Amino acid sequence: MTLLPLWPICVIDVVGSVGMILFGVLSFLKALRTHRLDPNNPRYSYLCWVTGTLMAFAIFRAGGHILRHVLLAFDLDAVWHQLAPFCGALNTLSFMMIVGVTLFMRDVENICLRLNEERRKLENMSKEILELNRDMEQIVSERTATELALRIAHQIRNPVMIIGGLINRLAKECPQEKDLEEKLSKILEQVQRLEELVREFETLMEKQVEYFRIEDLNQIVKSAVNLVSPEAEQKHIRLRVELAKGPLLFRGHGQLIKVAIVHVLRNAIEACGPEDVITVKTGLKEGYNYVIIKDTGPGIPKEIMPHIFKPFYSTKGKRTGLGLPYVKQIIEEHRGKIVIESAPGKGTTVKIYLPTHLDRQ
């Protein structure tokens, strides 16, 4: 029985081992170049680590094969038997590195996904805050223009009435001269135009009602809670929301009501500490939609309670003290009411009531 020569197999094994090493090195270099294009991409980092460990495995595994053939060619079988366990250990170590890198990068991928989700929430929240600020600027601008118009109307009304009265009296008492009568008639015509302008100024406030529309209090409260949730989480305060099952419809300005609710919620968050609870509840009672914001904070001192709705009264250092008075103004403009109940050590409860139906007049 003749045995086939082993050298062709050895040549194939050596060539294949060299090719395996070259493939591993080239793969790692390619992954490294890709990683440099976007170092912050976790997938590129994972690809770089995996190809690096695969290159190490190729070097250990294929290098061991080449070393074995070289030692056997020089009749150094004993040396190979001593080195074989070390080569096997290196192969096992490279496998463990691949598994470890894969498990680690899987966790990194999950973390990146969560970070992307949080970033998306922050972007949406920033967009919502920007829109809210833009609406507030528009509202303030409209109110400023209205107040200015009413002030101008008030200042012009009396002089116009006096001028008109004097001209009418002058026209009756003076001799009936055609030229004078025509001049007085023209002056009186201009006075009447001023009176019409004053009436137009006075109707501007009535036109503000046109900005009111049907809103859902549940949706406004939900949006307000989402806006302040990160602030509560940062202070480890728990927000508990209990919304009514059905929609709570009313006629009003949704952004203004949202501003009022957000301000009350932020006051509660500022007052509360870790492990406190803020409960937000909505419902319908006796023709009024209501939202109740109750916290387990320290409460409001008795000496401050009579002043909480006074403008420019503040216990917060450099604050202007216009927050709660402005909230009260918003609620009353919607023909609603706001009630605050508080006692030291027993927390604070803010109740906001909005009528279910508002006339346009």
CATH label of the domain that carries residue 349: 3.30.565.10
Is residue 146 predicted with pLDDT exceeding 70? no
| Per-residue model confidence as pLDDT tens digits over 32-83 | 888 888 887 777 777 888 888 888 877 877 777 777 777 777 777 777 777 7
Q: Are 99 and 129 in the same domain?
A: yes
Q: Rounded to an integer, what distance in angstroms lies between the CA atom of residue 180 and that of residue 39? A: 90
| Per-residue model confidence as pLDDT tens digits over 175-211 | 555 566 666 677 777 777 777 766 666 665 555 545 6
Token digits for 125?
């929240």
Is residue 317 predicted with pLDDT exceeding 50? no
> What mean pLDDT is predicted for residues 81-95?
75
- Residue scoring higher pLDDT (351 or 74): 351
Place of tokens 């001269």: 177
- 361 occurs within a structural domain: no
Cβ neighbourhood burial of 293 (10 Å; 0-12, 13-18, 19+)? buried
- 11 occurs within a structural domain: yes
Token digits for 161?
């009435």
Which phi and psi (to 5°) does residue 271 adopt? -80, -30
- Residue scoring higher pLDDT (343 or 184): 343
What pLDDT, on a 0 to 100 scale, did the predictor assign at position 264?
92
Domain boundary among 208, 233, 255: 208
Q: Are 70 and 90 in the same domain?
A: yes
Domain boundary among 155, 186, 208: 208
Is residue 114 predicted with pLDDT exceeding 50? yes
- 172 occurs within a structural domain: yes
Domain hosting 350: range is: 213-355
Is residue 17 predicted with pLDDT exceeding 70? yes
Domain boundary among 208, 240, 269: 208
| Per-residue model confidence as pLDDT tens digits over 159-174 | 767 776 766 766 666 6
Q: Rounded to an integer, what distance in angstroms lies between the CA atom of residue 30 and that of residue 329? A: 66
Place of tokens 């803010």: 350
Q: Are 161 and 200 in the same domain?
A: yes
- Cite the beta strand spans of the chain per DSSP E: 213-216, 238-242, 249-252, 277-285, 288-295, 337-342, 348-355
Q: Are 105 and 123 in the same domain?
A: yes
pLDDT band at 148 (very low <50, low <70, confident <90, very high): low
Q: Rounded to an integer, what distance in angstroms lies between the CA atom of residue 250 and that of residue 330? A: 14
Task: Give strand pairing partners of 240.
Answer: 279
Q: Are 179 and 237 in the same domain?
A: no
- 149 occurs within a structural domain: yes
Chain-wide mean pLDDT for the chain? 77
Please state the pTM of the whole predicted model: 0.49
| DSSP label at residue 305 | G
pLDDT band at 318 (very low <50, low <70, confident <90, very high): very low
Percent of the chain having pLDDT more than 70?
73
Q: Are 15 and 56 in the same domain?
A: yes
What pLDDT, on a 0 to 100 scale, did the predictor assign at position 307?
76
Across 42-46, 239-243, 271-275, 302-306, the highest mean pLDDT is recorded for 239-243
- Count the domains in the chain: 2
Q: Are 233 and 344 in the same domain?
A: yes
- Residue scoring higher pLDDT (352 or 319): 352
Task: Give strand pairing partners of 348.
Answer: 295, 342
Q: Are 196 and 233 in the same domain?
A: no
Q: Rounded to an integer, what distance in angstroms lies between the CA atom of residue 51 and that of residue 59? A: 12
Q: Rounded to an integer, what distance in angstroms lies between the CA atom of residue 169 and that of residue 65? A: 124
CA-to-CA separations, 60 to 17, 54, 87, 93, 292, in angstroms, rounded: 10, 10, 7, 10, 69
- 360 occurs within a structural domain: no
Q: Are 316 and 330 in the same domain?
A: yes
- 59 occurs within a structural domain: yes
Q: Rounded to an integer, what distance in angstroms lies between the CA atom of residue 136 and that of residue 341? A: 28
Q: Are 219 and 104 in the same domain?
A: no
Q: Rounded to an integer, what distance in angstroms lies between the CA atom of residue 269 and that of residue 261? A: 12
> What mean pLDDT is predicted for residues 258-287?
90
Q: Are 231 and 130 in the same domain?
A: no
> What mean pLDDT is predicted for residues 89-109?
74
Is residue 240 predicted with pLDDT exceeding 90? yes
Q: Are 169 and 247 in the same domain?
A: no
- 2 occurs within a structural domain: yes
